[in-house]
Amino acid sequence: MEFFIYILLNLVTSSFLVGLLNFYLKEKIKNNINKNVQESEHRLRRDLQKNENDFNIAASSHMSTVIFDKHVEFVELYYSNVLEVFSEIIESGNDYDKLSKLVGSRGLRSLRLKYAVWLTL
């Protein structure tokens, strides 16, 4: 009988210790996960703010203003040339040779080449 009580006490004690260890490990893991999540959120907010600041600096820089102005200038010139070509295409009919000379003579290609530096930035 004494042996049975000894085994029963050992089982109860070991179950209690395993439960206590299990609780401790769960809490430790949960705290570690929460800490990692908070650190990740902090890094994400910091990186997002850095990217927003970089964008604002780039958007307000002199070079971005020049690039935008050159792009607008190109679009305006190109659009006016395209409208002239279309109006002459409508007037000329379906003569392919005449149309290809017309498109080449308007300098659309040379206009694209002239502004290629500003269009690729």
More confident residue, 107 or 48: 48
Does residue 7 have a pLDDT over 90? no
Q: Phi/psi of residue 95, each to 5°?
A: -75, 105
Percent of the chain with pLDDT over 70: 75
Domain boundary among 60, 91, 109: 60
Judge if 30 and 72 occupy the same domain: no
Higher-scoring residue by pLDDT: 89, 34? 34
Range of the domain at 72: 62-121
Pick the last residue of a domain from 17, 44, 60: 60
Co-location of 13 and 41 in the same domain: yes
Residues 30 and 67 in one domain: no
Do residues 93 and 111 both lie within one domain? yes
User: Do residues 77 and 117 share a domain?
Assistant: yes
What does the pLDDT read at residue 11? Answer: 61
Nearest to 112 by CA among 83, 59, 65, 75: 75
